[in-house]
Structure 1
Amino acid sequence: MTTHISRRTLLGLVGAGAGVHLLGACGDGDSDDPAGTQSIDWWHIQNTDPMKPVWAAMAQEYQTAHAGVTVDIQPLENEAFKTKLTTATQSGNPPDLFQSWGGGVLRQQVDAGLVKDLTADVQPWIGGLLPAAMQPFTIDGKIYGVPFDVGMVGFWYNKDLFSRAGITAAPTSWAGVLDAVRKLKAAGTVPIALAGKEKWPVHYYWAYLAMRIGGLGALQQAAKDNNFDTPDFVAAGDRLKELVDLQPFQKGFLGADYSSPDGQAATMGNGGAAMELMGQWAPSVQQSSSTSKKGLGDKLGFFPFPAIDGGKGTATEAFGGGNGFAVGKDAPAATIDFLKSLLTVENQGRAAKTGAVLPTLKEAASAIADVNNKTVAQNLAGATGFQLYLDQAYPPAVGQQVNDSVAELIAGNKTPAQIVKDITAVAKSQ
């Protein structure tokens, strides 16, 4: 999701227990045969309802309208996708069109010459997409991927449990979050659900705190200098430790998964905790993981990660990411046109209506039906800055160390000062 989804990716978590599709061979660059047909090998992670049939229908419609073009779809569960893609890219043979979250992984693919520079091809229509959604796919001023879904991480909360604890409004400061935790504990409610075992949900806290304390500039400078051993990052750990010291998480959180029957999402969906810090897919996963398969419904609310007094960042700077597609180096000519077809107002609207996608095309925003999705979209539309998940934004080894180190902090095994040294050591070794 990531990572995160490693997570994170993201929406593939909905129904993650579904069977994995076995892969055939990737496109090999000889997709155009003597008869002039073109075969597009498309890998994506929407391997379950509601998006799997939607993608299939869009591909079929494109094939019907374009004689000689076929789309070979390979739907994969998130982690299976990443494993297969790693194998394919290491052999220099990426699929024609494939899932991407942008950031550090995409940069490695660019540096290896595995993906097409789409800048010139998409200029006529790319201006209709949200600028924040484009950031992770823009590298050194050039566009190497196109996002179809975008979202942000924020606090999802149970309105009923807040009310029972005497909390009348969503917190607007970090001190307010800590105060809410104290009130919830006093009311006998678990304040926060957390999937400590998976680590990527844990890093959201430290990343957001670093953003609010140091601003986006601190995260960008750390990437340039390969140095996280600065006062702002140490302070982020100190603030996170304030939360950890209140013991706000559910029993057994260090061994908890995200989407398992007793994991973070189910704990929220079943009313077993009052809050979780999670991305835009949270309501869907809460619902699918809950015992009732209904989730919290209108009891669920959302508020952005608050500002911190004296911090350089603001509450309007968003942290998150989404799903997009990159085009393999040997993809047939029709691939980019097919990608364009997925981003029409009509098709982005169809995706949005499923509730599993927050469209990146501005004109498709009106198709968002879910109240919580609308709230996230409104926050994103007003965002003054955007930061991709750290375990996607930085080189993979650095992102993994961020996850590992923050997990050690949460578990009480490392101090804020120690984890920034560990992350810096890995960053400098790259």
Structure 2
Amino acid sequence: MTIRPSLGVAATAAIAALLLSGCAGGAANDDGEPAGTITVLTNRTDLVDTTFKDYAAEFTKKYPGTEVKFEALTDYEGDAKIRLNSRDYGDVLLIPSSNVTKDKYADYFEPMGSTEELSKKYRFTNEGSFDGTAYGVSTFGSAMGYVFNKDVWTKAGITTPPATEEEYLDALEKVKATGSIPYYTNYKDGWPLATIEGNLGTVQGDTVRTQMIDDDAPWTEGNDQYNIDGLLFDTVSAGLSEPDPTTTNWEESKNLLASGEVSSMVLGSWAVSQMQDAAEAAGESRDVIGFWPMPWKTDTGFTSVTASDKFLAISKYSKNKATAKAWVDWFTNESGYAASQGAISPVVSDPAPDTLKDFQELGVNYIELAADPVGKEAVINDIANEAEIDLFGNTYRQKLIDVARGAADGDKESVFADLNDRWAAARATVDAK
């Protein structure tokens, strides 16, 4: 099965030509042939000296006289934000998702062509665009759901995905009875908590962001924001997560899930292959790792929001844009990176990954969020920033977990009332500007 934008989700030589002709001039080796050295910033500290090194060698074979150097940043979002304040952020980089709003893309990145044209070849183009211009190309995409240990869930008597939150929490209770930790928050590392926001749109649909900027109370029952954070709160409050979230560890969580010590985590489908690798390394079958849709089934069935991971962009200040453009095109179309991650390829014509076979069997509906209205692309971030709610980060969810586990004052109702009050006040301030 091929996941196409027609299913709700938004290569070739043509795209290469587009990339090579769509950027502004002004720097050395801007529109010439690929040559010389480029620096690529990456968050993949685990791949920089292995897989990416091999990619660089393959690229150099195709473009003799070029060299690709990598800088791997452990705290990519934080470090990249600092680098952006200078003009020293490499030639190619991943657009920081938590601290660069779309209306600022042109300040830092080269335009890659029109959104309309790129979307004919690439998925998720809207996410890397502003005002009809694309500034980033997706590295790969993911479908949202939760990874789980099939052996543990089968032992607990659960062989079909829960359709409601009540069924889901009941399933976790049964898992707990087996001795496995039902759910792992990854509280300490933080960033996995931020990724659960990717479920936005599961119930409200592809225009949910537009709905949110017109809503004074997104944390109201029936809304996606309430579902996302409410499910997390209820899971922790019921004692169905790890005993001490302050000691969690992302890398170790893969081994815990593979061994069955932990049974599940809400993540994108990109995580499936990493969990399978951990299972294989532990002598388990890769098939022990499953992936199911979130428990918000409607009359039309299960729905999963698909979205891009990071976006590759070219620095506005690169002095070697020709080579940078060639790298972005080669990495996207020829490296096989998306396939190696078991992820959804950004290239429309590529097939769906094997990691989504559970979804295929369940007939899960895929949805990609619609583009924000022209002129309002940054409004949701402006409201969140004004409200001091890191909607696409992890801090407020860590505080939510603290309340849910009794380490901070409050309850679910007071937490959500506070979030709604701050959101409404911020909306009024942003509207007044």
User: Does the alignment reach a TM-score above 0.5?
Assistant: yes
Partner letter of residue 220 of structure 1?
T
Q: Conserved in 1, the CA contact under 8 Å of 2:233 and 2:401?
A: yes
Q: SS where residue 66 of structure 2 aligns?
A: strand
Aligned in 2, Cα 1:271/1:320: closer, same or farther, shift over 3 Å? farther
- The superposition leaves residues 131-176 of structure 1 with CA deviations (integer Å, 9 ceiling, x where unpaired) of xx22321222211111131113311111111111111212233232
1:351 CA displacement: 2.5
Cα distance change of structure 1 residues 272 and 420 upon mapping to structure 2, 3 Å threshold: farther
Distance 1:33 1:386, change over 3 A: closer
Q: CA deviation at 1:124?
A: 6.6
Partner letter of residue 46 of structure 2? Answer: T
* Cα distance in 1, alignment partners of residues 117 and 207 from structure 2: 31
Q: Is the 8 A contact 1:223 1:394 kept in 2?
A: no
Taking the aligned partners of 1:221 and 1:270, their CA distance within structure 2 comes to 41
Which of the residues 111, 121, 140 maps onto 1:117? Answer: 111
Q: 2:120 aligns with which of 102, 123, 127?
A: 127
Compared CA separation, residues 340 and 187, structure 1 to 2 (3 A):
closer
**What residue number does 1:73 align with?**
69
Partner of 1:87: 82
Distance in 2 between the 1:205 and 1:47 partners?
22
Residues 1:247 and 2:239 are matched in the alignment? yes
Partner of 1:318: 305
Aligned residues: 378
Q: How does 1:117-156 map to 2 (within 5 A)?
A: 117-120=111-114, 127-130=120-123, 133-156=124-147
Q: Is the 8 A contact 1:151 1:377 kept in 2?
A: no
User: 2:38 aligns to what?
Assistant: 40
Map 1:163-242 → 2, pairs under 5 A: 163-204=154-195, 208=199, 211-223=201-213, 228=218, 232=223, 233-234=225-226, 237-242=229-234
Shift in Å at residue 297 of structure 1? 1.5
* TM-score normalised over the length of structure 1: 0.72
| 1:277-426 superposed matches below 5 A | 277-286=266-275, 292-293=281-282, 297-307=286-296, 315-318=302-305, 320-331=307-318, 332-334=320-322, 335-344=324-333, 347-348=334-335, 350-355=336-341, 358-365=344-351, 368=353, 371-372=354-355, 383-386=366-369, 394=381, 397=385, 400=390, 403-412=394-403, 413=408, 414=410, 415-422=415-422
Q: Are the aligned partners of 1:44 and 1:98 in contact in 2 as well (CA < 8 Å)?
A: yes
Aligned residues with identical type, % of pairs: 16
* CA pair 84-192 structure 1, distance change in 2 beyond 3 A: closer
Give the aligned residue type for 1:321.
S
- Give unpaired runs (5+ residues) of structure 2: 1-25, 372-379
Relative distance call for 1:358 and 1:336 in structure 2 (3 A) is same
| Partner amino acid, structure 1, of 2:355 | N
The Cα of 1:285 is off from its aligned counterpart by 3.8
| Aligned position for 1:57 | 57
Aligned counterparts of 2:149 and 2:233: Cα–Cα separation in 1: 24
Does the 8 Å contact 1:286/1:295 carry over to 2? no
TM norm structure 2: 0.72
Q: Partners in 2 of 1:423 and 1:200 — Cα distance?
A: 22
User: What's the offset of the Cα at 1:98?
Assistant: 1.2
Q: Which amino acid aligns with 2:345?
A: P
Distance 1:53 1:167 in 2: 43
TM-aligned CA distance change 1:418 to 1:308, over 3 Å: farther
User: What root-mean-square deviation, in Å, do the aligned CA atoms of Structure 1 and Structure 2 show?
Assistant: 4.0
Cα distance change on mapping 1:426 and 1:294 into 2, 3 Å: farther
Report the CA distance shift for 1:326/1:125 in structure 2 as closer, same or farther (over 3 A): same
Tell me: CA distance 1:339–1:287, structure 2 relative to 1, closer, same or farther (3 Å): same
Distance 1:252 1:373, change over 3 A: same
User: 3-state DSSP class of the match of 1:74?
Assistant: strand
**Residue 42 of structure 1 aligns to a residue in which SS?**
strand
Check the 8 A contact 1:174/1:308 in 2, yes or no.
Answer: no
Q: Residues 33 and 394 of structure 1: is their aligned pair in 2 closer, same or farther, counting only changes over 3 Å?
A: closer
